[in-house]
Structures are given as structure tokens and as C-alpha cells.
Structure 1
């Protein structure tokens, strides 16, 4: 991570949706990510019109409230309660006995055009969210790599062309950048440290487009300070783009306040230290999940996940970035991720 070099990265066009191939379907079944759901993504598309969702300040949120005919809405809501029970409690319907679907929201802005569902407990008004999306193989591989290579756990299910995801709690990155950095109680060095580690994880796992609004900041009070964790919430640009900087959050203008924070509070020696810490953590995770990451690699090699032009551009870019000609032999995005992980293991052993 070169803190002295700041740029802005633009993504030229929206990534296509890649269907879930047979190899990935088998992987999902082995690792219990598949499910039989009463509601599929296409069922939620049967709305007649939508109403824009505005925030408390009257600004457009890019979400819309779909309006369903009454005879469809009741069935949808009951089905969504079952989906929530399958996602959160292995299908135990008792967890939704006192819950109701409060609202459904739709976002045509995202790649997978997600639906966000709010479910609320009638007894105490406690609510939760979950998401229904089109199943995109790239996104699913991103979720799996997040589970394996990061310190975070993800909860999702796939039923053919439908993807269901648990809500990831946290302060939206753009909101934190705008307001959280002004909080005097927060240790800015700890925030900068977490951004360096997050940047390193994205480079290794090829998680792209991590602008501030595509991740959240999780803040945990400790006995003498606050701990920070950046968590990705958008995996639509998982190893598709050919520009290496797409996988380096430091180059997005939306993240400039975090880059500046790192420049102000860290030096090159501490940056390298935090990068090494993250690499060591990744090695421990890979060793404990070596069978799973092998199966994921084998599944991903069986289907197209990017274009030949993007693969060529990225292998050349990573070869230059890491000064390693071995990248030029990579034939797929999977090969590049695998080489990234192998290099991390070699570096930690040195």
C-alpha cells in the first residue's frame, strides 16, 4: 500500500451476471449453502409500480418500495417469513411465530437488483433485514472467499437462481467517513490500521470496487478504547475487472479521507507491519480451511467468470505490481487468486 500515491479508479461498465454452474452447485451442496425456498427472486418482481424511498433528509436512497396486488402480497409475506427462518434458524418456523414482514424495498441500481426485506417482532418491535438477489456466481465466490480469507463470517443461501443474504450490521462507510472521523473518542491510528488491513485483503482476494458506500465500519467498545473492523457488503465486482487498482480501495476518491488518515498517522514501517499481520492471519485461515479453499478453486475453474481481455490485463498488472513474472502464466482469475495466496504463504514463512 503506497500511501504517497492517490488516484481515482473508475469502472467502465456494469459486470454481467454469471449463472451458477454445476461445479459451484455441487460445492454449495457440500458446504450446506443450498436450500429449497418457497419464494424465488422472480416472485418478487411481480409488482405493479414502485414508490421512491427517501432518507430522513429527503434525499433519494436509490431504493424503491414495490407495490404488490393484495392477493400476491399475503403469499409473498408468508413465504418470506419461511425464507427468514431457513436463513437464521435452519427452517425452524417457531422463530417467526411473532414476526411480520414490515416492508420490502427494491434497488434497480445494483448489479443483482436486490430486494431488501425488513422483518419485525410484534412483541417488542425489534427488527432485522435480509436480502433476496439474483444468484451471481461471481458474488457467491466473493462471499465464500470472505468466509475463508477474512476474519468475518457470512450467512447466505442459494436456491437455483435465487440468493438470500443475511444483513451485515455496521455504519455505512461513506457515513463513517463523513461523520465518524470527527468523533474525538475514536483512535484514528486504529482506524488507519484497519483500513490498511482491509486494503490488503481486497488485493489478495480480488475483491473490487470497495468504495466507501460498499463497506461498513463495525465499532466495538473495548475496556479502554474502541476496536474497528471494515466489512465488505458488496461482492458484485469479485475478480472481474482487469485494472489492478479496482482491487485496491486506496485508489477510490470516496476513500480519500481514510487514505489521508493513514498518511497522517502511519509511516511506511507500521504500514508494512500491519500488512504482514494481515497476511499471517490469512495464512492461518487458509491452513484451517485448506480443503474448502481447494474445493472452491476446483469449482471456480469450471466456469467463465471474466473476459480473456480482463484476465490478460490483470495478470500483467499484478505481475508488474508484485514484480513477479509467475502471474503471466495465470489463465484465469482463479489462478491469480491462488497465486496471491501461495505468495502470502511463502512470505510469511520467510
Structure 2
């Protein structure tokens, strides 16, 4: 299926409701910051950023006049302190803003900020984006339902996101995957199955290979590979169910082939069950916070009416659960999907305990 038919042409940005703002304040996500996304748009010039192979990265390095640059640098250092440290000015003297890059590709059009510690030359990145409610839901769901914690801040129309380190999926597939051992390829295939299942469960769309990263961790006798989403723009927006399943994007064909070549059907089913169980456990662990987030989503508009109608029918046909038919908006579809996973996990464990008692 072609990318044009699978994905909508353009996803609008949705405003943050007062209810969602209250949720963010409660969990220390909504914090006053000294600079806004619009401030960074005042750049006076830019140059294209090329990679080590002299290919266009789709980022441009922006420049500001002297007065603006001084003010912006100080504000960005303060944002770094709020995001990474205790928010005090004590570390600002040790920081330098090495670069500010701007990307016009995609929906979020982010600024990428590189901050370096001048004492030891260690550096890190963070991103400044325009606030979008669906992106915030995506970040919060990733924080609660994936194995990874996410650090981000929201203030009025500006979103600050911590950088997620890893090798971009498209780069990994092209340059690193061919060098992996057969055992490593089997492990990557397993992780793709689990990643595919996790995205589908929590309705995170558009996980083409450049929207996730591969994280390689060296254990004492081997390398462990994990897959992490890095783009949350397409949380619960599209009406096509396939958009929420990374296996259906042509950019992931190599990973899908890897699964077919390396895993038996029974293993694929086992890994899907494992991931559903892990997500269900996280849902139970974050029960109160998740209920508050879903309450916000139920009263929010984060998609188009036609997308809502199409998605609930497609999921209903997939899982045969009448709860999806009752859903009136994307928040209710999301709630039904997560409840379906939790309910099946709890029913299975109750049945297992009763069976054991019967023995």
C-alpha cells in the first residue's frame, strides 16, 4: 500500500484544553519557561546542515542578530536547567549553546538545541516545538506504557522535549543491520514484533523507520537492541487501523522480512502476548494517573469525525469487542483499546488462578 493512501496529507495541531493543562500541572509537566517557540522563529539567516556523507539532513542551522542571540542563548540555558537540573541559574555559567537547528519537514517543525558543558565538553540536545494536544497524549502514554521515562515541559503554546538517544531506524537498517550477527538479527526481529504490538495497543501511528531509533546496549557478552519511538505527532489521529501497526509501512519492509526469516509463528504469538501483558501491568501500575489522562482525552478533540468513525469500525472488526462501537471520539477509542488489553490480561490471570485452585 502506498504511503499517500495510508497516511492523511496533513494533520492539524490541536490546542491544549484547560483540563489537560490541569493534568500537566498536577504532574509537573506544565512549568513556566523563559522562551517561546515563536521567539526562535526570529532568526535572520540559515545554512543547510549536511551529514558526514554530504547529504541534506533536512535541518538548517539558524542564526540571529547579536542582541537576539544573547537573549535567546541565556533563555535556552535556563530551559536546559529546568528540564535537566533543578532549575537554578548556578549551572548556566558552565553551559554553551553550540547550535540551534530548525526542521521544516513534518508536522512539528521543531528547533533542535545543542547545549554543551564547557568544563568537560559533554553535550546534549533538546527540542522546542509548538504545543499540540495529541503529541502531549502521545508523550504521556509513552512515559507510562513503554519501558522508558520521558522528560518534557509544556508552557502555553511551547513544548520542550528531551532528546531520545539512539540510531535512527532508517540509518540502522541501511548501515548497521547487515553487519549484525544472526543471533542479533533474531533479537532485533523479536523487538520489532513487540514494538509493533505496543504501537498498535496505544494507537501510536506513523512509525516509519525514521520515526523510531534503535538503542544498542552492550551487556557483558552480547549487545541488546531495543526500539524506541521518537515522534509522537500521530497519536490517535488517523482513521486507518494499519497506520498504528509499523509492519504496514514500506520503510519497515526489511524489518518485516527479518521477522519472517528469523521467527516462527508460535514465537511471534508468544512475543505479542508478552508485550500485551507488560502493557497491562503498566496500566494497572499507573491506574490513577492513566484514568486522569483518559478523562482528559474523552473530553477532547484530537481527530476528525470521519477518522473516529472509520477507526472504531476497523478495530471492532479486528477484536470483535462491542465497546469500540460505543466510542464517540478518539479518547473513548483509546480508552476502549487499553481497557480491552487490561481486561483480557486480568481475565486470563483469574482463569489461571481458578484452574490452579481446581487442581
TM-score tier (shorter): over 0.9
Q: How much has 1:346 moved relative to structure 2?
A: 2.6
Asked if residue 93 in structure 1 is aligned to residue 85 in structure 2, the reply is: no
Contact in 2 for aligned 1:35/1:157 (Cα 8 Å): yes
| Corresponding residue of 1:304 | 301
Q: Distance in 1 between matches of 2:288 and 2:248?
A: 34
Q: How much has 1:90 moved relative to structure 2?
A: 2.8
Could you tell me which of 57, 64, 73 is aligned with 1:61?
A: 57
| Corresponding residue of 2:199 | 202
With the length of structure 1 as denominator, give the TM-score of the two structures. 0.95
| Corresponding residue of 2:354 | none
Task: Give the SS at the match of 1:90.
Answer: coil
Map 1:268-279; keep pairs closer than 5 Å.
268-279=265-276
Q: Distance in 1 between matches of 2:188 and 2:97?
A: 36
Spell out, residue by residue over 1:41-83, the C-alpha distance to the aligned partner (whole angstroms, 9 max, x if none).
Answer: 1110111232111111111111111221111001000110000
Asked if residue 251 in structure 1 is aligned to residue 248 in structure 2, the reply is: yes
Could you tell me which of 34, 38, 58 is aligned with 1:42?
A: 38
With the length of structure 2 as denominator, give the TM-score of the two structures. 0.93
Q: How much has 1:267 moved relative to structure 2?
A: 1.5
- The alignment of Structure 1 onto Structure 2 pairs a total of residues equal to 344
Cα 1:192–1:8 shift into 2, 3 Å = farther
Q: How much has 1:8 moved relative to structure 2?
A: 4.7
Q: How much has 1:148 moved relative to structure 2?
A: 1.1
Q: Which runs of 5+ in 1 are unaligned?
A: 1-6
Q: How much has 1:289 moved relative to structure 2?
A: 0.6
Map 1:1-350; keep pairs closer than 5 Å.
7-9=1-3, 10-185=6-181, 187-348=184-345, 349-350=347-348
Contact in 2 for aligned 1:8/1:251 (Cα 8 Å): no
Contact in 1 for aligned 2:276/2:341 (Cα 8 Å): yes
Moved more, 185-194 or 83-92: 185-194
Q: CA RMSD in A?
A: 1.2
Spell out, residue by residue over 1:98-142, the C-alpha distance to the aligned partner (whole angstroms, 9 max, x if none).
Answer: 110001000111212100000112122211100000011000000
| Corresponding residue of 1:3 | none
Q: State the structure with bigger RCO (CA 8 A, min sep 6), 1 or 2.
A: 1
Moved more, 309-318 or 45-54: 45-54
Spell out, residue by residue over 1:117-172, the C-alpha distance to the aligned partner (whole angstroms, 9 max, x if none).
Answer: 00112122211100000011000000000011111110000011000000000010
